Structure 1
Amino acid sequence: MQVTEDKEKEEETKVVLTTPFSIGESDDVYRAPNLLQRILSLLKNVRPGSDLTRFQLPPLFNFPKSQLQCYGESVYSTSSDLLSKCNNGQNPLDRFTSVVAWSISTTRPAVFGVAPYNPILGETHHVSKGTLNVLLEQVSHHPPVAALHATDKEQNIEMIWCQHPNPKFNGTSVEAQVHGKRELKLLNHGESYEMNSPSLFIRVLPVPGIEWIGNVNISCQESGLVAELCYRSSFLGIGGKQRLIKGKIFDSSSLKVLYEVDGQWDSTVTVKDKNTGKVRVIYDAKEVISGLQTPILKDAESVRATESALVWGKLSQAIMNKDWEKARVAKQIIEERQRQLSKERESKGETWISKHFVVSHSKEKGWECSPIQRWVPAAPVIAF
């Protein structure tokens, strides 16, 4: 009897780490059978214009990863060190162009018909890659808001993000606008770069597909440089080039265009020097986000109880095993526990407080998340 209890306890506390999505990876890894029919059945009672942030997906429509992990992977899961290139640029324009390339690298493949888990309140994701330490926390559940803090003491680099996705159903498609600010600081150069995220567009009919679309602006107040990028695809995803990026880099003080940006975020992106006409590649997706490896657990004892890979471990393992009944039960237990905790806080008049960020919200500025610690500590989960 004791052996059985110990085995069950071990299963419940297992950390399950999964491989990041890569360019060229098959998109049917986690697909359920008859996917399109299942999606249409799922959405038939959802009204156009509905906010989907409270919409609960059955495990059939989840892949074994939390949204918090997806945000983190876009920062630490790379095959080459773009952040060092940003830091080592010889002049502001070189550094700015490298930051544009790094920003593009955070755009990752998505799989049609499946979505990550909605993180629970207080969930964390803590990973190290080399000297870069990354910590995320779900600082609000309704609406869903995630905060990210990443630091590299050796490179003297800091990142602070505050992400607020807002998915809405439009009848034949879902568009998830990602509100919030991303900030990258190159402290050796006294430069801070602010940027936003494109939107995720999921088309159900007439041609199923999933794309990143919209405008991304990147600016550096210290140098006065600005990039305006447009993510787009061909009409209805039919014919022509897909996953396009077009834009420009210019000096905000003179409005002089320095570079034209052109390419595909899942292939190569180039800049054309407006003075010389010279074209060069600044980003190659196959070099940066292909063949990504699964992180490893270095120190199980140091894993927080709130770590994504632990919170969702049992559910993730069930999905990977395609054991849908076990997955349904595992997800139900997590969701019911969160409802119970929310009711307990409400009955006591308590307000949940983030452990790693100071969080504020206003109509003028939206959600803002300031990290409590100056430097993120090394993590028990290691990425390569």
Structure 2
Amino acid sequence: MFALDLTSPASKQLPPVFNMPKSELQCYGECVYSTMLDLLSRINSGKTPLDRFISVVAWSISTVRPLWFGVAPYNPTLGETHHVSKGNLNVLLEQVSHHPPVSALHATDEKENIEMIWCHAIIPKFTGTSVEAHVHGKRKLKLHNYGETYELNSPNFLIRMLPVPANDWIGNVNIRCPQTGLVAELSYTTQSFFGFGSSRRMVKGKIFDSLSTKILYKVQGHWDSTVTLKNTDNSDVRVIYDAKQVISGLQPPIVKDPKRVWPTETVLVWGDLSQAILNRDWEKAREAKKMVEERQRELQRERELKGQFWVPKHFRVSCTKEEGWDCLPVQKSVQNAPIVTL
């Protein structure tokens, strides 16, 4: 998920014809709430730490989604929010920085006593034939019933123009539970430079005990189809992730209570532009996009004249050279949202 900066005068601005009708903030949220299976409950029902860890690995793979080539989501505006509920899971995202773009996520399920905290900072690396968006920041999944915290990172997003146009997720993902000592190392790979080979959208790796360094399982498959787990003791193989079961037939969120929707909600910020894109009314789309951009510049000028600094409403943000970006939620839990998805 990668979007070019909309408000920087020096940046290249995408015309609406190259935008998909949703914000990058919504794309992040969909990775958490847009699933056909309740993967979080499955994690919580694991009887042993290893059972739960394997389910966390499967859930982490589910957050990697295929995207269309040639179109990009909108770059979120500063302070933009996305607040959605799916059953007992309440998800809240906020764009906490614009230069550089940083998105924060907080999700809680009070029934399962599960909490998620993410912080994503996108840093693009340009080459002559591709753009690789490095996703910096931290992801934490907390199972409060067990006192377990799972720490993981995100793969990077690759957009390749030549010689074979494609986009894909690449790089290494580490999943670690300090309380149990279990670790997973996953590698996301893509096809060769010339488009040959079967490694596109492949994920492979291992699960091991960091205390004994014993490899317990081998992980292998394709994140857009199925991923298997092989027991190193008896060579038994089983499917731990099936993309068709998890992300097929998904329904978009619907506004259940319009009066409770915040003015910063992505559906309001980008609503006119998204509708124009869906209608293929490109003149109206250009006008709508220009209005969003000009409004952001106007708000920035007002803050500068008043000597004010923008402060996120829902997160406390910090950034150090050693630790990178970190986003801590202001509230202990996320309230029910006026926007829901089934």
What is the TM-score of this pair, normalised by structure 1? 0.85
- 2:197 aligned with 1:244: no
Mapping 1:71-82, distance limit 5 Å: 71-82=28-39
Checking the alignment, whether the CA contact within 8 Å between 2:83 and 2:265 is kept in structure 1 is yes
- Any idea what the Cα deviations from partners look like across 1:10-66, whole Å, max 9, x if unmatched? xxxxxxxxxxx9xxxxxxxxxxxxxxxxxxxx9xxxxxxxx9994321111100000
- Any idea what the Cα deviations from partners look like across 1:312-337, whole Å, max 9, x if unmatched? 00000000111111000100011011
Aligned partner (choices 134, 139, 150) of residue 193 of structure 1: 150
Quote the residue 1:331 is aligned against: 289
Quote the residue 2:321 is aligned against: 363
Quote the residue 1:159 is aligned against: 116
| SS of residue in 2 equivalent to 1:235 | coil
Aligned partner (choices 93, 96, 106) of residue 139 of structure 1: 96
Q: Percent identity?
A: 66
Quote the residue 1:321 is aligned against: 279
Q: In 2, distance between residues paired with 1:282 and 1:152?
A: 23
Q: In 1, distance between residues paired with 2:132 and 2:199?
A: 21
Once the two structures are TM-superposed, the CA of residue 242 in structure 1 deviates from its matched residue by: 2.2
Aligned partner (choices 149, 160, 163) of residue 106 of structure 2: 149
| SS of residue in 1 equivalent to 2:55 | helix
Quote the residue 1:58 is aligned against: 15
- 2:219 aligned with 1:261: yes
Q: In 2, distance between residues paired with 1:69 and 1:334?
A: 17
Checking the alignment, whether the CA contact within 8 Å between 1:359 and 1:367 is kept in structure 2 is yes
Give ranges in structure 2 of 5+ residues lacking alignment. Answer: none
Aligned partner (choices 301, 306, 309) of residue 267 of structure 2: 309
What is the TM-score of this pair, normalised by structure 2? 0.96
Aligned partner (choices 308, 320, 324) of residue 350 of structure 1: 308
Checking the alignment, whether the CA contact within 8 Å between 1:195 and 1:218 is kept in structure 2 is yes
Q: In 1, distance between residues paired with 2:131 and 2:9?
A: 9
- Any idea what the Cα deviations from partners look like across 1:316-374, whole Å, max 9, x if unmatched? 00001111110001000110111111111112111101000111111111111100111
| SS of residue in 1 equivalent to 2:205 | strand
Q: Name the structure where strand makes up a greater proportion of residues.
A: 2
| SS of residue in 2 equivalent to 1:294 | coil
- 2:232 aligned with 1:298: no
Q: What code does the residue aligned with 2:135 have?
A: V
- Any idea what the Cα deviations from partners look like across 1:254-309, whole Å, max 9, x if unmatched? 11100000000001001101111111110000000111112111101100000001
| SS of residue in 1 equivalent to 2:251 | coil
| SS of residue in 1 equivalent to 2:291 | helix
Once the two structures are TM-superposed, the CA of residue 144 in structure 1 deviates from its matched residue by: 0.3
Q: Tell me: higher relative CO, structure 1 or 2? Use CA pairs within 8 A at least 6 residues apart.
A: 1
Indicate how the Cα distance of structure 1 residues 54 and 223 shifts in structure 2: closer, same or farther if over 3 A, else same: farther
Checking the alignment, whether the CA contact within 8 Å between 1:59 and 1:327 is kept in structure 2 is yes
Q: What code does the residue aligned with 2:87 have?
A: G
Checking the alignment, whether the CA contact within 8 Å between 1:53 and 1:142 is kept in structure 2 is no
